[in-house]
Structure 1
């Protein structure tokens, strides 16, 4: 199972003290993630996880008027009041711990759902399903008290793999959705395919809740837009903004609210120093709100109370204004009580809309094109992967992916261990996209030629980490003057290109989205992180291959011919006895 997903499941297991087999733990984890997106209270996910005899259904839950209803009596109680218009949702899940979405299993899931919703199921049903049938009957007997006079249903199918939207799999989900819609039992029918990317993100959102209230001095609303239910432009106290949105309980700045910001805080730059001087100038500080571009905040949940002019934000992210925010925090004592700042608050849960907002609000300043790769969901997963791997290897092999510009500026990490977007992409492009000649060229060339191949959603994270670790270890050899590595430093990208073949003892191209890639990378990682520095032997083998053909000029390494000649030499070298692994 994927290393980050496995860690997340272990965290859930630790929180609740579950003692179950891995497959059952995955079911419980999926149910917890899915139900927690609709129910915000505390609960034991075991209560919504079905038993082994509940055919094709691994989880079932009812959310009525914001409450998780698990018994018939609870359902009767909630409908016993005079309250009407109750939001009512049925959640049904299936979780497969394997990494594939299989048409036949999706079809079986659909069969189990239709059998259950018949209210007279023929397939085996355990205690949770039987109780759920009683709850459903209570709901159907109280349709007059339900919003839209009919409940909603959300169906989720989960695996530990990556959902690639293949044609037949898509069709299987569409058939399931159509079959449930044709029952005419539900107002809204939503069918979701959740792979590890989606599950990891849900888990992260569940465990990183930040909430804040902000008193507005003035505000005006923006009309509702597609995927943006509400948004406001407000004038707020700069001091209250720092107190309520930026400062944690220990008096430190909440760095987590800048995760979606393209750049981290840059410190003493001319722009930030100008913001500082404006705050310290009595006359200018009073017109700070018109001198500064302001702050843009995106949140999945926003509540405005018009009478009191108080806005509540949940799980908010400051997507533009990181420099202003940090400068305000650092110069808090210089902020006048009358100093105001313009804050734009946008409510949205649509990832595409949020990415467009981030891109648009940051395009007004000079930001390198490659910085926008930090917004990709895959780049966030890769950063998490680096952090998890650092726990598994010895500290001598720790490396860090600086997803956002200057993110680790104030960390005491050795510079050679930090990989920004540009350096990581050069190493990955050379080693796993087989484009060392482009990596040897001007760095932005990679983003011109290979931009569609970088940080793809179906890529595994291991190749990115492996290429960075190879780069770090080779650089260490150069710095410590081992094996004349410095002689080959200008060929580093071509060395990474053949290094993987040398370790595996044969030329074989495994794609980054292949199910084989994690195992393929694992062998390379184990050698690179070995305490006996066995990797030095394999780098020396690469040097031998390079020496077997004519040494290229610095100009020729930027062309494909040398790469082709080197691959031919590598293939030949590995066929000789006692070479490679």
Structure 2
């Protein structure tokens, strides 16, 4: 492996506590970096790789719009009752640590993809790959709800070599494109040979800061406003806005800059977006685009103004997702005279950002549940984690806003919990819903959000659930607990609650729940052999891990069985719950 790539891989390993062998680490590294180009959600990198029979594909990821779907149920849920067609992308990856290209390995990758796509696969498939095939087949049953009538395919073959230039390697890449396109399953097929430079670019785009400089055609400052450092109304060329703001170094749309925008792209078929597209496709009308369009609102913690240009860092588009996506889709038709107006606001004040997000998006119909990050209960949770962090030696971070801590070098990703991950933790541990946390996590922040983020709950329940999961991840990463239990982690944190606290739990709004949370954290914080052995034995007693399938994980009967066995284990092996610290 090339030394520069290895250095970034080491950084990835430390941040995410991935402790597999180098080959498996590199697979997780590639899959995670590509995942982040499609989806802003946090994910456990280990969930993107698999053990068992390997047909020649290292990763399969399927996205509906900008959401990752990993089960048949999530596909059904994502495509149910839609008012517009969805963008669906199927991603295949193969990662090789070698510093050279191999035509034979690329051919094997092609063969494996075609076998995956066939109606009756011949290659041996692990449970992960069997599930991926089921998800893909479910996607095909919903093509009537997919934009262009078919999903898109993206195929990545990665090495740590220089950029490929040998004819046989380029021909092998073209052969993948032709054969996969020939299946007729996809509206487009993109094949990319990832070299050592491009994988570093993918990784830095996934984890690094986003910066851009724009040449301005006109600019006017806003008056001084409390909570806002600076504000400007700026006119720039649409082409430069696309090139500098919307597109990353690999020519892809920067999905992460829309994380604060509560609305997804609604597609080009809607009346407003179609009219925008028609304006851009007309070489005369597009010159008036900046006047006809309402403009785009952006926030940034760092706006620097020069005489003829303006620089921004870590920016977010909080209003203008539709305009931005239409500009991106029609970028090849946009000339030098098309302009766009930007409202640039410099602030780091979370409350001000909340106000801007809510007010700018009230101008269009947006459902209340799309403002999840602005809920009072969620804000209170952020304040609690900050206060605990000032006291605890081993701090956990609650990420109310996406990438809130991504640029702080001393913060490891394994200690960061976003809203969805916190919801999964508390639902699994204290609501006895590990099946939903495992297989239907989006429900926790939609129809179940009032139950999950009840403002009367004591904040300790969220911290205890997150801390338990964090400790389990650490113990698995250093192999003190077998990593194959990772797929059962949501059931395990529920089992630990019952092992430590027994069957009778105080209400989550009661002050008495705080004592139970302290007991859980004290137990999980101990690293002695007796505690680790107790957790190992608990894991072994609640399930036969070799018998656990994805179908069993999504059923409530497994949760009930785990509860009963955890209580039986407690009776046979009473826990030692002295309150020691990590």
User: Is the shorter-chain TM-score for this pair beyond 0.5, marking a shared fold?
Assistant: no
TM-score band, normalised by the shorter chain?
0.3 to 0.5
**Computing the radius of gyration over CA atoms, which structure comes out larger, 1 or 2?**
1
Could you state the TM-score of these two structures normalised by the residue count of structure 2? 0.41
